[in-house]
Chain A
């Protein structure tokens, strides 16, 4: 039985009585699993953030809000936060925009061999970031790295930099490597999304003499609002989760300037044996993610998920 929302006296119990199977396996079971494996860890992390614990001692020391007040004065926290935002900006500007452009170009058949392009761009999505990191460590190496060699061969030798050693650019290097591995995802999403746009829409615009730019901005994008919402959300979560590449490639070096919040949690917990503080930073990530997601869903993407 569906759509009983009009019934004013409708309650969860009534629903459960009418739909035992759906309630048990569709709601109760997943919520229980969620509570045990995801919910409890979150609650515990929040609990832990009020303690000091070295991860080894049997007892934890209650410190109240000390970890939080420390966090708000911690330079490393702000550097990490800033880096997460930089990562997000790079990810939105590079893989998302490029993914959209490629998808559009393939859909309007602006290029020959679209399959080759699509395969090439999508493949890294399937690579573990450990492998991606190892690979780019070799490629961006200042001594025998292929990238610098290519730049020099193209007469762009002046662009050669210390990709990981220069604190001003290291985080961008990482974000771009991350973007390289990520571009395939927005591309595929947009590729399918544009395919679902009714052809008449494009035809009409075409007859009116619209160029590519107008087709993209005025015709395609407005139709792709929900795809964009998904892509932006994915990008947001990915950039807040950024961890693997940093763990493999820089470990926060040079001097902590490539730390991101996710890596800071790891560093403080497992390296510096401050699990309480690590939990505090975790809570910050959680609050931040939820806040940004809520903000986006409430404004730009209102109704995009028709929840």
Chain B
């Protein structure tokens, strides 16, 4: 599989010595990295700058660094609660999406189901759909199910809306699993269910991890559904809570939005460190492309 391929590939390319000046390329790479990391570093610096120092220009180093903005944002927006909620929605929402997607992915990767084409068309529609277009009817659906302004309601929505992408990812992954083992199991009379739980599921773990992580990030970033379907402040996620920092009437305390921004990224940084190898090696691509 890809991770194995990856290792061998590295060695291959090591032998390919191109004439292109590697230092020059590295310099370019550093400039690129600076463009991508610069804004983030700037935000960290801005977040610890006292208000008065803003007149000194954006790159002036903080003279009297302060962590007060962090304290203010944390308490003012109730960030602890927001954070808990975001983590809850992202973990459970993506778990639900993966759970819902497993058997369909299995079905689409292993069986010639009549009308398979239409199933794919449906899935793609689910992927295409901009959220704003379904807000009103979805709101009505949730209302009739008494799921408005509840955590579980939002989790279900995230689960279902994550499902199409997860089916595609997992299906792609499952198609790469060799079929010889199943064939043997089938001959011994294994049922679909047994093949699924005993063979496919264990072998799909890397695909599941990747799909789950991508969905986690997606839910972490999401704000339209949460904004419209939730009211109670104690169940709002970070993205919605942070909107308050965007008020155009916010006093000239730019360290507050910056601090909020930095805090909001901390859990994702942790996730990033934990799963980075998994994501960045791009194992999932093999799965998506099928």
Is A–B contact present in the complex under a CB 8 A cutoff?
yes
Size category of the binding interface on chain A: 35 or more
Q: Out of A120, A189, A191, which one reaches B32, CB within 8 Å?
A: A120
Residue B62, interface by CB 8 Å = no
Residues of A within 8 A of B69 (CB): none
Q: What CA separation (Å) do A285 and B36 show in the bound complex?
A: 31
Residue A65, interface by CB 8 Å = no
Q: Verify A38–B160 contact, CB threshold 8 A.
A: yes
Q: Out of B238, B246, B265, which one reaches A248, CB within 8 Å?
A: B246
Q: Which residues of chain B in 42-94 are interfacial with respect to chain A, using CB atoms and an 8 Å cutoff?
A: 42-43, 46, 54-55, 57-59
Residues of B within 8 A of A30 (CB): 100-101, 103-104, 163, 167
| Number of A-B residue pairs with CB-CB distance less than 8 Å in the complex they form | 320
Residues of A within 8 A of B2 (CB): 192, 195-196
Q: Out of B8, B38, B276, which one reaches A119, CB within 8 Å?
A: B276
Residue B202, interface by CB 8 Å = no
Q: What CA separation (Å) do A44 and B137 show in the bound complex?
A: 6
Q: What CA separation (Å) do A243 and B13 show in the bound complex?
A: 41
Q: What CA separation (Å) do A45 and B133 show in the bound complex?
A: 7
Q: Out of A21, A33, A108, A126, which one reaches B13, CB within 8 Å?
A: A108
Q: Out of A34, A199, A229, which one reaches B163, CB within 8 Å?
A: A34
Stretch from A66-74, A133-141, A155-163, A166-174 forming part of the interface with B: A133-141
Closest chain B CB from A226 CB (angstroms)? 4
Residues of B within 8 A of A122 (CB): 279-280
Residue A273, interface by CB 8 Å = no
Q: Verify B58–A149 contact, CB threshold 8 A.
A: yes
Q: What CA separation (Å) do A113 and B32 show in the bound complex?
A: 12
Q: What CA separation (Å) do A203 and B289 show in the bound complex?
A: 24
Q: What CA separation (Å) do A191 and B217 show in the bound complex?
A: 20
Q: What CA separation (Å) do A15 and B112 show in the bound complex?
A: 9
Closest chain A CB from B14 CB (angstroms)? 6
Q: What CA separation (Å) do A11 and B114 show in the bound complex?
A: 7
Q: Verify B257–A118 contact, CB threshold 8 A.
A: no
Residue A165, interface by CB 8 Å = no
Q: What CA separation (Å) do A82 and B137 show in the bound complex?
A: 28
User: Which B residue's beta carbon lies closest to that of A121?
Assistant: B36
Q: Verify A123–B289 contact, CB threshold 8 A.
A: no
Q: Verify A262–B130 contact, CB threshold 8 A.
A: yes
Q: Out of A37, A44, A114, A193, which one reaches B285, CB within 8 Å?
A: A193
Q: Verify B124–A293 contact, CB threshold 8 A.
A: yes
Q: Verify B112–A243 contact, CB threshold 8 A.
A: no
Residue A125, interface by CB 8 Å = yes
Closest chain A CB from B100 CB (angstroms)? 6
- For the residues of A in contact with B, the DSSP-based class is helix
Q: What CA separation (Å) do A193 and B254 show in the bound complex?
A: 41
Residues of A within 8 A of B242 (CB): 128, 130-131, 134
User: Which B residue's beta carbon lies closest to that of A3?
Assistant: B112
Q: Verify A195–B57 contact, CB threshold 8 A.
A: no
Residues of B within 8 A of A290 (CB): 124-125, 128
Q: What CA separation (Å) do A188 and B214 show in the bound complex?
A: 12
Residues of B within 8 A of A41 (CB): 133-134, 136-138, 141
Q: Out of B104, B127, B238, which one reaches A128, CB within 8 Å?
A: B238
Residues of A within 8 A of B114 (CB): 10-12, 15
Residues of A within 8 A of B122 (CB): 31, 34, 39
Residue B95, interface by CB 8 Å = no
Residue B249, interface by CB 8 Å = no
Residues of A within 8 A of B110 (CB): 2
Q: What CA separation (Å) do A31 and B119 show in the bound complex?
A: 8
Residue B232, interface by CB 8 Å = no
Q: Which residues of chain A in 228-270 are interfacial with respect to chain B, using CB atoms and an 8 Å cutoff?
A: 229-230, 237, 240-241, 243-244, 248, 261-263, 265-266, 269
Q: Out of B43, B137, B220, B284, which one reaches A135, CB within 8 Å?
A: B43
Known: A44-B137, A130-B246, A293-B128. A227 touches B285 (CB 8 A): yes
Known: A29-B100, A130-B239. A192 touches B112 (CB 8 A): no
Q: Verify A240–B103 contact, CB threshold 8 A.
A: no
Q: What CA separation (Å) do A136 and B129 show in the bound complex?
A: 27
Residue B281, interface by CB 8 Å = yes
Q: What CA separation (Å) do A26 and B111 show in the bound complex?
A: 11
Q: Out of A29, A38, A130, A262, which one reaches B125, CB within 8 Å?
A: A38
Residue A62, interface by CB 8 Å = no
Q: What CA separation (Å) do A294 and B90 show in the bound complex?
A: 32
Residue A111, interface by CB 8 Å = yes
Residue B274, interface by CB 8 Å = no
Residue A217, interface by CB 8 Å = no
Q: Flag B235-257 by CB within 8 Å of A: 1 or 0 each.
A: 00011001101100000001001
Known: A45-B137, A248-B246. A136 touches B39 (CB 8 A): yes
Query: Which residues of B approach A to under 8 Å, CB–CB?
Result: 2, 5-6, 8-10, 12-14, 16, 18, 20, 22-23, 25-26, 28-29, 32-33, 35-40, 42-43, 46, 54-55, 57-59, 100-101, 103-104, 106-108, 110-117, 119-120, 122, 124-138, 140-141, 156-157, 160-161, 163-164, 167, 179, 186, 191-193, 196, 217, 220-224, 238-239, 242-243, 245-246, 254, 257-258, 260-261, 264-265, 268, 271-272, 276, 279-286, 288-290
A-B contacts, 7 listed (Cβ < 8 Å): A2-B112, A112-B23, A144-B55, A146-B59, A188-B282, A191-B282, A196-B285
